[in-house]
Chain A
Amino acid sequence: MFDFETIRADFPLLTQTVNEYPLVYLDSAATSQKPLSVIKALESYYSAENANVHRGRHFLSEHATRRYEDTRTAIAEYFNVQRTEIVWTKGATESLNLIANGLTSHLKSGDKIAISAIEHHANIVPWQELAKKVNAELIILPITADLVLDSNECAAFIREHKPSVVAVTHASNTLGNITDLEPIITACKEVNATSVIDGAQAAMHLRPDLNKLDCDFYVFSAHKMLGPTGLGGLYGRYSRLNTLDVYQTGGEMIETVSLTHSTFRDAPGKFEAGTPHIAGVIAFAEAIAYLTALDFNGMRQHEHTIFNYAIKQLSTIAGITIYSHKENNIGNISFNYRDEHPFDLATLLDGYGIAVRSGHHCTQPIMSKLGIPGTVRASFALYNSLDDVDAFIKALKHCIELLD
């Protein structure tokens, strides 16, 4: 069962007041808040456990190494994949760069790379750079009028164009819209395209079973999954992962080094050069434990209730345009009020202690498609309540009065 009151109490930051109003945090798509267990693990690591991993033979180093590697096992179990298929990075952005860079020697001039128009810039720019480097062609997958990847059309498009790489999001950061990945991944396998899924937004909300999903790569950010900032990772199907070109070189990732030649370890080691974010990884174990202990269906039910209520309440306000899909959504709502600039609305909402985001959310192609400079985005997570929605709507009405 999903016990909301207990869960809310696990997030100390949410009890504060902002501008003399109780904080209403609706920016979890940017970063999630952290439960007390994660915060304590960070403190405990630095006060009693700090040592470098994989090197020292002393007690602390062995302890840190064990905890570091145990977290790899935990996230592998969370995604239902093998522990050797998980690489730690500093976030989903670095994961995508690592993959795009790692595919360099696998592509040749004239190959195609398919992305969509609803991707985050982090899932666009690395592919543009790769395309430039190897003289590949970037092609754009079809989306529906309501800004969801049109899965069946995408599958047909992939069968027709036979790209070498297909990089799509599991859920849009700006809109929250969820991609039905199965037809896309099936088509990728048929044409032997490498499938890369941006799971930054979906990894917490949808808890994907990657073994079942059967994609080649899936990237995530720890800080959007109740974990510390500065940490993320990627899953890579081992046969594909181990053949990627190395991304960064240096210590830790090598097997042997002479002055003229070096050999690299097998994955995941060869992609983890230098001292990693040990504290972050160890504390992330607590976030994974927290999420795994939750009743997943109960959490999704709760998130649906909050999201549906917010959509319903927003829809009652004349002049509000909602850009997000109203059913197929992880919990992010992008909207505007008439032709008011989202910056003004977000600034005024902040006055009432409501934390939302405004702008293009690193998805300028979506904004060009909609012909707007940006949106206000309210994004929800498991620790948000119906009261949060009420406070948000009440404040929004006050802000609109100020603007009108």
Chain B
Amino acid sequence: MNSPFHTVTQDIENANGWQQKYRQIMLLGKKLPVMPDVLKVDDALVKGCESKVWLYIDFDHSENSLVLAGDSDTRIVKGLLALILALYNGLTPEQATQINAYNEFERLGLISHLSPSRGNGIKAMVDKIQTMAQEKR
């Protein structure tokens, strides 16, 4: 297992205690490439979040792959977003539908962040990506 996701999650898995886990997540967010302002349109805004979260999804027909970019005005959500991008970016729709973000977040001890009551939009982002993947299969 040497996917981009498993490379970025190693530090989270090795983190000692929840504080270090959060620190690693926030560091991941910091390393996320800047999302160009032109992509931060209303359509890309994930609804129902306390923080502002943008998720831009496109489909590269020539490569048959998902193209994702995102940003958030909070550090923690931005870090979680970086994890999701690492999970799905560049995958074919077929591959994307086989990835269960819940299982991955569970493994990292982050499942509470996927609960709908959290208001952070992580669940909405995963749903949005899965819908796109299903459509393009």
Please list the residues of chain A having a beta carbon within 8 angstroms of any beta carbon in chain B.
19, 340-341, 343-344, 347-348, 351, 358-359, 373-374, 398, 402-403
Q: How far is the CB of B111 from chain A (nearest CB, A)?
A: 14
Q: How far is the CB of A247 from chain B (nearest CB, A)?
A: 29
Please list the residues of chain B having a beta carbon within 8 angstroms of any beta carbon in chain A.
18-19, 22-23, 26, 50-52, 73-77, 119-120
B19 touches A398 (CB 8 A): yes
Closest to B112 in A: A350
Closest to B17 in A: A351
Given contacts A351-B22, A402-B19, A402-B22, contact A344 B76 (CB under 8 A): yes
Q: What residues of chain B lie closer than 8 Å to A19, measured between beta carbons?
A: 18
B50 touches A351 (CB 8 A): no
Closest to A346 in B: B50
* Besides the known contacts A343-B51, A373-B51, A373-B52, 20 further A-B residue pairs in the complex with CB atoms under 8 A apart: A341-B74, A341-B75, A343-B74, A343-B77, A344-B26, A344-B74, A344-B75, A344-B76, A347-B22, A348-B76, A351-B18, A351-B22, A359-B50, A359-B119, A374-B50, A398-B19, A402-B22, A402-B23, A403-B26, A403-B75
17 contacts between A and B (CB under 8 A): A19-B18, A340-B75, A341-B51, A341-B73, A341-B75, A343-B51, A343-B120, A344-B74, A344-B76, A348-B76, A351-B19, A359-B50, A373-B51, A373-B73, A402-B19, A402-B23, A403-B75
Q: What residues of chain A lie closer than 8 Å to B75, measured between beta carbons?
A: 340-341, 344, 403
Q: How far is the CB of A394 from chain B (nearest CB, A)?
A: 13
Q: In the complex, A19 Cα to B75 Cα: how many Å?
A: 21
Q: What residues of chain B lie closer than 8 Å to A402, measured between beta carbons?
A: 19, 22-23, 26
Q: How far is the CB of A188 from chain B (nearest CB, A)?
A: 36
Q: What residues of chain B lie closer than 8 Å to A403, measured between beta carbons?
A: 26, 75
Q: What residues of chain B lie closer than 8 Å to A344, measured between beta carbons?
A: 26, 74-76
Q: What residues of chain B lie closer than 8 Å to A347, measured between beta carbons?
A: 22, 76
Q: How far is the CB of A239 from chain B (nearest CB, A)?
A: 43
Closest to B74 in A: A341
Q: In the complex, A344 Cα to B50 Cα: how many Å?
A: 11
Q: In the complex, A374 Cα to B51 Cα: how many Å?
A: 9
Closest to A348 in B: B22
Q: How far is the CB of B134 from chain A (nearest CB, A)?
A: 30
Q: In the complex, A343 Cα to B53 Cα: how many Å?
A: 12
Closest to B52 in A: A373
Q: What residues of chain A lie closer than 8 Å to B74, measured between beta carbons?
A: 341, 343-344
Given contacts A373-B73, A403-B75, contact A343 B50 (CB under 8 A): yes
Closest to B120 in A: A343
Closest to A360 in B: B50
Closest to A358 in B: B50
Q: What residues of chain B lie closer than 8 Å to A373, measured between beta carbons?
A: 51-52, 73
Q: How far is the CB of B80 from chain A (nearest CB, A)?
A: 10
Q: In the complex, A347 Cα to B74 Cα: how many Å?
A: 11
Closest to B77 in A: A343
Q: How far is the CB of A229 from chain B (nearest CB, A)?
A: 16
Closest to A351 in B: B18
A-B complex: 10 closest residue pairs judged by Cβ atoms: A341-B74, A343-B74, A343-B51, A359-B50, A344-B75, A344-B74, A344-B76, A351-B18, A347-B76, A343-B50
Q: How far is the CB of B116 from chain A (nearest CB, A)?
A: 16
Q: What residues of chain A lie closer than 8 Å to B18, measured between beta carbons?
A: 19, 351
Q: What residues of chain B lie closer than 8 Å to A358, measured between beta carbons?
A: 50
Q: How far is the CB of B16 from chain A (nearest CB, A)?
A: 14
Q: How far is the CB of B54 from chain A (nearest CB, A)?
A: 14
Q: In the complex, A373 Cα to B52 Cα: how many Å?
A: 9
Q: What residues of chain B lie closer than 8 Å to A341, measured between beta carbons?
A: 51, 73-75
Q: How far is the CB of B23 from chain A (nearest CB, A)?
A: 6
Q: In the complex, A404 Cα to B74 Cα: how many Å?
A: 14
Closest to A357 in B: B50
Q: In the complex, A373 Cα to B50 Cα: how many Å?
A: 9
Closest to B20 in A: A402
Q: What residues of chain A lie closer than 8 Å to B26, measured between beta carbons?
A: 344, 402-403
Q: In the complex, A340 Cα to B75 Cα: how many Å?
A: 8
Q: How far is the CB of A391 from chain B (nearest CB, A)?
A: 16
Closest to A341 in B: B74
Q: How far is the CB of A31 from chain B (nearest CB, A)?
A: 15
A340, A341, A359, A402 — most chain B CB neighbours (10 Å): A341
Q: How far is the CB of B112 from chain A (nearest CB, A)?
A: 9
A343, A347, A348, A403 — most chain B CB neighbours (10 Å): A343
B73, B74, B77, B119 — most chain A CB neighbours (10 Å): B74
Q: How far is the CB of A156 from chain B (nearest CB, A)?
A: 38
Q: What residues of chain A lie closer than 8 Å to B51, measured between beta carbons?
A: 341, 343, 373
Closest to A339 in B: B73
Q: What residues of chain B lie closer than 8 Å to A351, measured between beta carbons?
A: 18-19, 22
